[in-house]
Amino acid sequence: MTKNKIYKKLFWVTSDKVVEKLDDNFVMCGTENWNFYFSKVRDVKKSDYEEMQNVELVEFESKKEMFNFWNLLDDNKKIDWSLEHQSPYILKSI
């Protein structure tokens, strides 16, 4: 692992049209299902996002390291993973 960041609240935006409005608060895009996660949502209808609490964003140096970590996580801690950024990331509950 290289870095991690804890979010007391993180938002999964479920509407594609809303994603464009929230660029400044973008955290991660999941690879498997293209979910978009943001640190804040403003002027967004409650029906367009889901709120998560106590989430950790973990950055890795390699895809192999990330998947090794992912495979060791309890299923109830797994939220999402991404290869869409400069470094591989995992979102997990804490």
Q: Alpha-carbon torsion 42, 32, 52, 38, what sign?
A: negative
Nearest CA-CA partner of 70 in 59, 78, 62, 61: 78
- Taking the C-alpha atoms of residue 23 and residue 55, their distance in angstroms, rounded to an integer, is 19
State both tokens at 93. Answer: 């509950």
pTM (predicted TM-score):
0.87
Report the number of distinct structural domains present in the chain. Answer: 1
* Domain, as residue range, for 7: 3-93
**Residue whose token pair is 């890795």:** 60
- Taking the C-alpha atoms of residue 76 and residue 49, their distance in angstroms, rounded to an integer, is 21
Residues 8 and 54 sit within 8 Å (Cβ to Cβ):
yes
Q: What is the pLDDT of residue 23?
A: 74
Q: What is the pLDDT of residue 1?
A: 62
DSSP codes, 44-84: --GGGEEEEEEEEEEE-SSHHHHHHHHHHS-GGGEEEEE-S
Q: What is the mean pLDDT of each run of 10 residues along the chain (94 residues)?
A: 89 79 85 88 82 96 96 96 94 96
Q: What is the pLDDT of residue 72?
A: 96
